[in-house]
Structure 1
Amino acid sequence: MSAVTTLDPPGPTVGQLLRGWRDRRRLSQMELALEADVSTRHLSFLETGRARPSRAMIIRLAEHLEVPLRERNDLLLAAGFAPAYPQTELDDGRMALVRDAVRRVLAGHDPYPALVVDRRWELLEANAGLALLLEGIDPAQLQPPVNALRLSLHPDGLAPRIANLAQWRAHILDRLARQVVATSDPQVASLLAELRAYPGDEPAPAAHELPGPEDVIVPLRLRHPSGELSLMSIVSTFGTPLDITVQELSIEAFFPADEHTAGVLRAAAGAPGA
Structure 2
Amino acid sequence: MTIVPSGAAPSSTAPAQGAGPLLRAWRQRRRLSQLELALRAESSARHISFVETGRARPSEEMVLRLAEHLEVPVRERNALLLAAGYAPRFTETPLDDPALDGVRAGLERLIRGYEPYPALVVDGVYTVVAANRGIAMLLDGVDEALLTPPLNAMRLTLHPGGLAPRVLNLREWRGHLLHQMERQLALHRSPRLRELYEEVAAYPVPASAPGDGSGGEVPDFALPLRITHEGRTLSFVSSISTFNTPMDVTVAELAVETFLPADPATAKHLQAYAS
Gaps of 5+ in 1: 1-9
Say which SS state the counterpart of residue 174 (structure 1) adopts. Answer: helix
Q: How far, CA to CA, are the matches of 1:214 and 1:266 in structure 2?
A: 21
Q: After superposition, what is the alpha-carbon deviation per residue over 1:204-253, rounded to whole angstroms, capped at 9, x for unaligned? A: 995887xx997111111111224111111111111131111111111111
Match of 1:230?
235
Size of the aligned set, in residue pairs, is: 259
Q: CA deviation at 1:91?
A: 1.6
Equivalence for 2:7: none
Could you say which structure has the greater relative contact order, defined with CA pairs below 8 angstroms and 6 or more residues apart?
2
Could you tell me which runs of 5 or more consecutive residues in structure 2 were left unpaired when the two chains were aligned: 1-14
RMSD, matched Cα: 2.2
The SS at the match of 2:20 is: helix
Tell me the SS of whatever aligns to 2:120: strand
Choose which of 83, 88, 91 in structure 2 pairs with 1:78: 83
1:267 counterpart (249, 257, 272): 272
Give the distance between the partners of 1:206 and 1:28, measured in 2 at CA.
41
1:125-274 alignment runs, 5 A limit: 125-201=130-206, 215-270=220-275
* C-alpha displacement of 1:201: 4.8
2:225 and 2:212 map into 1 onto residues whose CA distance is: 18
Structure number with greater Rg is: 1
The whole-number CA distance in structure 2 between the counterparts of 1:31 and 1:208 is 45
Q: Distance in 2 between matches of 1:135 and 1:216?
A: 29
**Aligned counterparts of 1:168 and 1:99: Cα–Cα separation in 2:** 29
Task: Give the residue type in structure 2 aligned to 1:91.
Answer: D
Match of 1:7 in 2: none
Q: Which residue of 1 aligns with 2:3?
A: none
- Aligned position for 2:117: 112
Aligned partner letter, 1:29? Q
Residue 200 of structure 1: CA displacement? 2.2
- TM-score after normalising by structure 2: 0.87
2:4 corresponding residue in structure 1: none
Query: Contact (CA 8 Å) 1:170, 1:205: kept in 2 or not?
Result: no
The answer to whether the Cα contact below 8 Å between 1:167 and 1:205 also exists between their aligned partners in 2 is no
The answer to whether the 8 Å contact 1:69/1:244 transfers is yes
Distance in 2 separating the partners of 1:55 and 1:244? 18
> Corresponding residue for 2:29?
24
Q: Distance in 1 between matches of 2:87 and 2:74?
A: 13
> How far apart, in 2, do the equivalents of 1:247 and 1:85 lie?
10
- Measured in 2, the distance between the counterparts of 1:190 and 1:65 equals 26
Per the TM alignment, residue 144 of structure 1 is displaced from its structure 2 partner at its CA by 1.5
Deviations 1:167-226 (A, max 9, x none): 111111111111112334333233222222222256x995887xx997111111111224
AA aligned to 2:45 is: T
1:159 partner letter: A
Shift of 1:89: 1.4
In structure 2, the CA distance between the partners of 1:193 and 1:19, relative to structure 1 (3 Å rule), is same
Q: Cα offset for 1:25?
A: 1.8
2:172–2:212 Cα contact (<8 Å) kept = no
The 1:99/1:207 distance shift into structure 2, 3 A limit, reads: closer
Q: Structure 2: how far apart are the matches of 1:208 and 1:105?
A: 31
SS at match of 2:232: coil
Give the TM-score, by structure 1 length: 0.88
Q: 1:24 to 1:253 in 2, by over 3 A?
A: same
Instruction: Please report how far the alpha carbon of residue 159 of structure 1 lies from its aligned counterpart in structure 2 after TM superposition.
Output: 0.3
